[in-house]
Amino acid sequence: MVPVMSALPLVFDAPRRGKPPRHLADLTRDEARAAVAELGQPPFRADQLARHYYGGVTDPAQMTDLPAAAREALVGELLPGLLTPVRHQEADGGRTRKTLWRLHDGALVESVLMRYPGRATVCISSQAGCGMACPFCATGQQGLTRNLSAAEIIGQAVAAAAAMANGEVAGGPGRLSNVVFMGMGEPLANYPRVRKTLDALLTPAPHGLGLGQRSVTVSTVGLAPAIRRLTDEGLNVTLAVSLHAPDDELRDTLVPINTRWKVAEVIDAADAYARRTGRRYSVEYALIRDVNDQPFRADLLGRLLAGKLAHVNLIPLNPTPGSKWDASPLPAQREFVARLRAAGVPTTVRDTRGQDIDGACGQLAAADQVDGVPSVAVAPTPSMEPTVELGAEGDE
Ligand code: SAH
């Protein structure tokens, strides 16, 4: 018997709560040039603003290439502060830093910057809360507050790049090298905004952060149609699929979206992505004691993935408040790894950076307070049945 912690509804349609103010990062280059022209400035000022933004400059006083008289207006109109840091928490000797951000409407999200030898990765949020209702995930238990705008997502990466450049993370000044969409939210349920974010991350400076495609990881619960849509985009970013169970019976309870798109469909979609990109996808699997860590499930997973362009990333479950579940003991983890490897499936076990500041995978749960009232997930009505028009809001 699998203990079911709660039965939150699956929520696809994000509540609308008023758009964040317009921001350069939401605009195409042409749109930004037009917006600058409307403010009575030559269009090339848009490029100057972009250089400052992606370079981490937020103080108008430092934008000395802009005429002093126009600075405030340009910055106010095109680079409004969308993310206000509420607090930073550090762990791992200052090499892990979790930031709680407040958005324009009071919604809260978190991002986590992790420095390793030779690389620095920021884990960013794509939604405030999450509608996917996975019972072992703190964010999933919060429900969905709203989608983030592209600029709200991009801003988390830009802030991390600036923190690295400014030497705010232990180890001296450095460069942000990786971005993973493993913070709060289901990125493929906020598709258009995440797509725009990918452009901003991959576009070379000064119009983007200039990250390498394989240094950017999109992690999904397995929205098969959206994985196929991503496949058609022609990007080569790393795809991670949160599987957590090799069989539909168990996955239906651990990853409720499985009731909609089954293991076989998700793996099919990921395989198509791997065929198109020629790159391995990663299968995320949180090892939960006596729930999904049995040797027979390792064998099932091994058979499912043998011969595929896939890699398994095991994550010992990070505890979430109130959960009865805990991580698999080490011997069970080792046995699981050994069986997968014996099946020929490349397998690693992820470290649990930031666990002591609740910054590890699945622990992000910035309690959302708007006007002092915690928001709750919206229960689906029949008309809100999941559709394949993911993230289809009218702002793109
Ligand atoms: N919605 C995306 C991103 C979520 S967070 C997705 O599901 O992939 C990134 C990873 O952390 C996912 O693989 C998620 O399943 C995993 N995760 C969630 N809660 C966890 C927990 N308590 N312990 C370990 N991993 C967890």
* The two structure tokens encoding residue 271: 């395989």
- Ligand 1 centre to CA of 218 (Å) is 12
Q: For residue 61, what pLDDT is reported? A: 93
Q: Please report which confidence band the pLDDT of residue 321 belongs to, taking 50, 70 and 90 as the band edges.
A: confident
Q: Who wins on pLDDT, 391 or 110?
A: 110
Q: Give the whole-angstrom CA distance, residue 204 versus residue 190.
A: 24
- Across 102-118, average pLDDT: 94
On whether the CB atoms of residues 99 and 88 are closer than 8 A, the answer is yes
Q: Nearest 5°: CA angle at 242, between 239 and 248?
A: 125
d(CA 11, CA 20): 22
pLDDT of residue 380: 31
Phi, psi torsion values for 296, nearest 5 degrees: -65, -30
Quick check: CB of 137 below 6 Å from ligand 1? yes
How many other C-beta atoms are found inside a 10 Å radius of the C-beta of residue 90? 17
Q: Is the alpha carbon torsion for 355, 128, 370, 373 positive or negative?
A: negative
Compute the residue count for the chain: 396
Ligand 1 site, residue 110, Cβ cutoff 6 A: no
Picking from 183, 161, 164, the residue whose alpha carbon sits closest to that of residue 172 is 164
Active site residue 123: no
Strands (E), 33-168: 84-91, 96-102, 108-116, 119-123, 127-129, 144-147
pLDDT score recorded for residue 381:
30
For the chain, where are the alpha helices, taking DSSP H only? 29-38, 44-54, 68-78, 150-165, 191-202, 224-232, 248-254, 263-277, 295-305, 330-342
Ligand 1 mean position, distance from CA 256 (Å):
13
pLDDT surpasses 50 at 24: yes
- Residue 367, pLDDT score: 62
Whether ligand 1 lies within 6 angstroms of the CB of 328 is answered as: no
From ligand 1's centre to the CA of 361, what distance in Å?
5
Q: What are phi and psi of 182, to 5 degrees?
A: -125, 20
Atom of ligand 1 nearest to the CA of 323: 22
Ligand 1 pocket check for 365: Cβ under 6 Å: no
**CA dist list (Å): 38 to 151, 321, 348:** 21, 50, 53
Indicate the range of 309-318, 328-337, 383-392 predicted with least confidence: 383-392
The active-site residue, picked from 77, 110, 186, 284, is: 110
Residue range 327-348: average pLDDT? 97
At residue 84, the pLDDT reads 95
Q: Tell me the average pLDDT of the chain.
A: 89
Confidence grade of residue 365 (pLDDT, cut at 50, 70, 90): confident
Give the per-residue pLDDT at 18. 77
Mutate to test the pocket of ligand 1, among 127, 139, 242, 364 (most ligand atoms within 8 A of CB): 242
CA distance 241 to 227: 10
Q: Which of 231, 217, 218 is nearest to 270 (CA)?
A: 231
CB 53 within 8 A of CB 162: no
Domains of the chain, with CATH numbers? 22-80 (1.10.150.530), 82-371 (3.20.20.70)
pLDDT recorded at residue 390: 37
CA of 220, closest atom in ligand 1 = 8
pLDDT score for 360: 77
Higher pLDDT: 390 or 247? It is: 247
Least confident of 37-41, 138-142, 297-301, 356-360: 356-360
Q: Extract the tokens encoding 251.
A: 């996955």
CA of 221 to the centre of ligand 1 (A): 8
Q: How far is CA 168 from the centre of its chain?
A: 22
Distance in angstroms (rounded) separating the CA atoms of residues 92 and 204:
31
Residue 358 confidence (pLDDT): 80
- Which numbered atom of ligand 1 lies nearest the CA of 241? 8
Ligand 1 neighbourhood includes 242 CB (under 6 angstroms): yes
User: 175 alpha carbon to ligand 1 midpoint, in Å?
Assistant: 26
User: Could you report the per-residue pLDDT of 181-221, keeping only the tens digit for each?
Assistant: 999 999 999 999 999 999 999 999 989 999 999 999 999 99
Going from the Cα of 60 to the center of ligand 1, the distance in angstroms, rounded, reads 38
- Does pLDDT of 179 surpass 50? yes
Q: Rounded mean pLDDT of 296-320?
A: 96
Query: Greater confidence, 356 or 290?
Result: 290
Determine whether 110 is an active site residue: yes
Given ligand 1 and candidates 122, 126, 182, which is best to mutate, with the most ligand atoms within 8 Å of its CB?
Answer: 182
The Cα–Cα gap between 313 and 272 comes to: 20
231 CB near ligand 1 (under 6 Å)? no
| Chain segment 222-278, per-residue pLDDT in tens | 999 999 999 999 999 999 999 999 999 999 999 999 999 999 999 999 999 999 999
List pLDDT tens digits, range 367-383: 644 444 333 333 333 33
Tokens of 357: 């500041």
Q: Is the pLDDT of residue 42 over 80?
A: yes
